[in-house]
Structure 1
Amino acid sequence: MRTAPLLLVLLTGCAPTATPVTSTTTVTAAPRTPQRLLAGLRVAANRDSAHYDRGAFGPGWSGTGTAPPLPDGCRARDAVLKRDLTAETLSRTNPCLVIAGTLADPYTGTTISYHVGRAYEVELDHVVALGAAWRSGASRWTAARRAAFANDTSNMLAVARRANQEKSSKAPDQWKPRRAYWCPYATRWVTVKSAYSLTITVRERDALTAMLATCA
């Protein structure tokens, strides 16, 4: 008489029903939810904080244009402004240049009128700041990888200058946007850190767990 495997009997409390495996049998992977991405991040202490070098990520917005253009031909900063502003007016001679528009700031919930002549009211934020990336693994990257990270628009948001200055390079355990934006903010944070294999601290993990708990 054929018996069921002992371990399976112990786990289920009864003998299993045999299911034939055919060539059409498929295994569906669990969805990569933000919570699963967070669980997959390696927890480690920050490192190399004293040696942070902003220039290691490339020339920044005031550089000489060494960062490669995106598929639409625009630079990262211009692409994010075009994406995040509404009712925007583009330059007639440069379709990448936003002359004016309206920003619904995700961090504060305020509405800001943007004009290229007074652009200081709107800044571009690296959600996972360059300094935060440096402390969680980027200090050991190649210059090319750091430049690619600095120009990755999936890690950028157009935001109010005040909020961006307050946030600086802080992690979610040190700074948070308005509560209504916790879910998308934490989702973007863990997605970027996962994509670039960056680490998180214990306090950062706990803060992100609380923020993701607000997701519907």
Structure 2
Amino acid sequence: MELRRALELRRALERRLTTANRRRHDGRIRLTGRHWTALTGFAVTAVLVAGGLGLPSGPSVRVDPSRVAAARQHLAALAVVAERPPHEQAYQRSAFGPAWSDDAGVADSGNACDTRNDILRRDLTVTDSVAIATCATAVAAGRLRSPYTGREIVFTRGRESAAVQIDHVVPLAYAWDMGARDWPAPQRLAFANDPANLLAVDGPSNQAKSDLEPGRWMPELEGFRCQYAIAFVTVAAGYRLPVDSRSHRVLAAALGRC
């Protein structure tokens, strides 16, 4: 069942390549076909890990060497700054638009379901759905094996729903500090809701990571660090974000162990 979900996800992402390329003219999507090819493999691996088919601990899940090579090329092409600039205390999440907007001009936008539920449905093994104001098929219950820890979580909508949270692989505050402050508002909205930059994970990992860059935080599950590095590098390249030198070294090391 999980393998079928992964293959379906791969086909869906591949169909989005042409969509992403068509939308480049308005500045809201910057991912090229090469970026999406790398992220297709990342998303499939994330589903396999979340569904329990990947290794919950130990060595990395095997990654297509062509994706690793592409990510290394992206990393080599990224602008590198000595360190992350001091974070602006005046920064607010609202700078990236309404949370989980279905009108962000990215993959799955306009499907009458908010971004959070799009990602929950993509990454969880869903056992029940419910209609809510922002999504007719919102996830009501399911299971997730967090790619950051390898531990399984039972998700139930309601008081315990924070057990599963949606992480921005490239944190919004980090993107802001590295140049997103100068982007037009539609581009920031797209970045915050781009499925390529989103992953369902366990709540404690998401809270521990906060807005930290790879130089200061990487997933606890060492077997997922290669995939995490691929996603981070590909998104940063797609949105033309620089990376701090410490993170550059950490990402290079992670890709070197793929």
Which TM-score band applies after superposition, normalised by the shorter structure? 0.7 to 0.9
What corresponds to 1:5 in structure 2?
none
Q: Does the alignment pair 1:104 with 2:145?
A: yes
- Kept in 2, the 8 Å contact 1:107–1:181? The answer is yes
- Residue of structure 1 aligned with 2:252, choices 186, 209, 216: 209
Cα pair distance change 1:48/1:143, threshold 3 Å: farther
Q: Does the alignment pair 1:187 with 2:225?
A: no
State the TM-score, normalized to the length of structure 1. Answer: 0.78
- Kept in 2, the 8 Å contact 1:48–1:134? The answer is no
What corresponds to 1:56 in structure 2?
95
Question: Which one has the largest radius of gyration?
Answer: 1
The Cα shift of 1:41 comes to 0.4
Q: Does the alignment pair 1:170 with 2:212?
A: yes
Q: Does the alignment pair 1:38 with 2:79?
A: no
What corresponds to 2:203 in structure 1?
161
More helix per residue: 2
**Following the alignment from structure 2 to structure 1, what is the Cα–Cα distance between the partners of residues 152 and 161?**
14
Cα pair distance change 1:92/1:46, threshold 3 Å: closer
Farther off after superposition, 138-147 or 98-107: 138-147
**Following the alignment from structure 2 to structure 1, what is the Cα–Cα distance between the partners of residues 123 and 162?**
16
**Partner SS for 2:167:** strand
**Following the alignment from structure 1 to structure 2, what is the Cα–Cα distance between the partners of residues 142 and 202?**
26
**Following the alignment from structure 1 to structure 2, what is the Cα–Cα distance between the partners of residues 150 and 124?**
11
Structure 2 counterpart of 1:46, one-letter code: R
Farther off after superposition, 69-78 or 180-189: 69-78
The Cα shift of 1:66 comes to 6.2
The Cα shift of 1:188 comes to 0.2
**Following the alignment from structure 1 to structure 2, what is the Cα–Cα distance between the partners of residues 80 and 176?**
21
What do the CA deviations read for 1:61-115 (whole angstroms, capped 9, x no partner)?
Answer: 5x8x765662533221110000000143222675430010001100011000001
What do the CA deviations read for 1:150-173 (whole angstroms, capped 9, x no partner)?
Answer: 111110001100000000010111
RMSD of aligned Cα (Å): 2.3
- Kept in 1, the 8 Å contact 2:119–2:199? The answer is yes
Unaligned runs of 5+ in 2: 1-33, 35-65
Farther off after superposition, 70-79 or 157-166: 70-79
**Following the alignment from structure 2 to structure 1, what is the Cα–Cα distance between the partners of residues 253 and 157?**
38
- Kept in 2, the 8 Å contact 1:127–1:157? The answer is yes
**Following the alignment from structure 2 to structure 1, what is the Cα–Cα distance between the partners of residues 131 and 169?**
31
What corresponds to 2:125 in structure 1?
86
**Following the alignment from structure 2 to structure 1, what is the Cα–Cα distance between the partners of residues 176 and 157?**
31
The Cα shift of 1:59 comes to 2.5
State the TM-score, normalized to the length of structure 2. Answer: 0.66
Aligned residues: 185
